[in-house]
Structure 1
Amino acid sequence: MVEGILWDNDGVLVDTEKLFFQANKDLFAQVDIALTEQHFFDWFLLENRGAWHLLTDHTPDQIKQLRTRRDQIYMQHLHNNERLEISGINELLLGLAPRVPMGIVTSARSDHFELIHSRLDLIRHFRFVVTEEMYSESKPSPEPYLLGLTKLDLPAEKCLVIEDSPRGLHAARAAGIKCIVLRNKMMLDYPFEGAYRVVESVEELSHEINQLL
């Protein structure tokens, strides 16, 4: 029986992966590099290294400036998009919150996270939020989810992770936690080997979670 749930944020609670891709695409277009969805999947969602390795003629300081510019573009995309909540997720959380303690474990920066959720009503369902500043190694390292387990005060075998990316799945598995993957449009063909379940909709996700409670 599952006694605690740890949720990823981007791609699970909110539909922001496409905006982060667009911000990176916009930034790299300024230096004449065409970033594709496949690049984004491979380098960001799978390997978690970004596309900065392509900038072989840039100094570390120049790359730092470009990172800052990318983040500014992303923030602007977030400001310009009001419909970020994934359809049906609030209703699912509303039903789960009285039954099981939950937390968010995200690779997002706190300022990005706060902007995303400033116009939503999802945070009230969670006991805590773990953002990028709170750990030293991001997913696929297990560190973020191990911190989540500490905050839930539960062992891994009594918890469940909800993810959407390969690196998130790898992080959950490395922490010893079963993981349900909510597939999104950027990862239609990825097999997600090792996932407890792979679901295609919030309705399927609700069914699988309730089977474990």
Structure 2
Amino acid sequence: MKKYILFDHDGVLVDTEFWYFRAGERALAEIGVALDKDRYLRDMAQGLGTWTQARAAGVDDATISKQRAARDAYYQEYLRTEAIEIEGVVEALAELSQHVRMAIVTTAKRADFEIIHEKRRIKQFMDFVLVRDDYKLAKPHPEPYLTGLERFGAAKGETLVVEDSSRGLSSAVAAGIDCAVVYNEFTKAQDFSQASHRINTLTELLDII
């Protein structure tokens, strides 16, 4: 029986994965670089991202820095204006909170996370939140989830990670924690063969814990 759940954030609790890609795509288009989605997803699985393709196209560091700032601004614009709710998340968390303690372990920047949760009811169910600023090495390194375990004072065997990406799954596996992968349209083609569980909605976690 699981006593703790460590949730990834983007693509699991809010539907933001596409909009992060779209912001990067928009920023690169301004300098004449087309961001290939399939390569982007392969790069993300390795802990890389948008700027790998920019560098491969010969874009210099100064321009990348400028367009990174543009990407971040576009992303925050989308977070404020686009529909990023995932139906049933709040209800599932309310039910789960009666059985387990929960936290969020995300690669999101603190500023972006705070924008997302200005008017949402997700954080109320969490003991704590770890954002990218709270650890040194990002997913797929195990440090984020090991930090979450330490914060809870939890054993690996009594904890479940919930992810939507192969990068996050690799982080959980490297940390030695069972991982349930929830369906996300944006990442559905990634390799989830190491997942302990595959689910379509968070409600199914009630049958796992």
Give me the TM-score of the superposition, normalised by structure 1.
0.92
List per-residue Cα deviations over 1:22-55 (Å, max 9, x = no partner).
Answer: 10110111111111321221122x1221132333
The whole-number CA distance in structure 1 between the counterparts of 2:11 and 2:78 is 16
List per-residue Cα deviations over 1:56-103 (Å, max 9, x = no partner).
Answer: 44332332222111101111111112x322111110000111221100
List per-residue Cα deviations over 1:86-128 (Å, max 9, x = no partner).
Answer: 1111100001112211000000000000101112111000000
- Does the 8 Å contact 1:90/1:122 carry over to 2? yes
1:24 counterpart SS class: helix
Structure 1: 5+ residue runs without aligned partners?
none
- Does the 8 Å contact 1:180/1:198 carry over to 2? yes
The 5-angstrom pairing of residues 1-213 of structure 1 reads 1-44=1-44, 46-56=45-55, 57-81=58-82, 83-199=83-199, 201-202=200-201, 205-207=202-204, 209-213=205-209
Give me the TM-score of the superposition, normalised by structure 2.
0.94
| Closer/same/farther in 2, CA of residues 53 and 36 from structure 1, 3 Å limit | closer
Per mean C-alpha deviation after superposition, the further-off stretch among 182-191 and 132-141 is 182-191
1:108 counterpart SS class: coil
The whole-number CA distance in structure 2 between the counterparts of 1:50 and 1:191 is 17
Q: How far 1:211 sits from its partner (Å)?
A: 2.7
The whole-number CA distance in structure 1 between the counterparts of 2:77 and 2:190 is 30
Count of residues in correspondence between the two structures: 207
The whole-number CA distance in structure 1 between the counterparts of 2:117 and 2:17 is 15
Per mean C-alpha deviation after superposition, the further-off stretch among 118-127 and 30-39 is 30-39
Q: How far 1:206 sits from its partner (Å)?
A: 2.2
The whole-number CA distance in structure 2 between the counterparts of 1:189 and 1:58 is 29
Amino acid at match of 1:51: T
2:161 counterpart SS class: strand
Q: How far 1:197 sits from its partner (Å)?
A: 1.0
Amino acid at match of 2:79: L
- Does the 8 Å contact 1:37/1:186 carry over to 2? no
Structure 2: 5+ residue runs without aligned partners?
none
Q: How far 1:157 sits from its partner (Å)?
A: 1.1
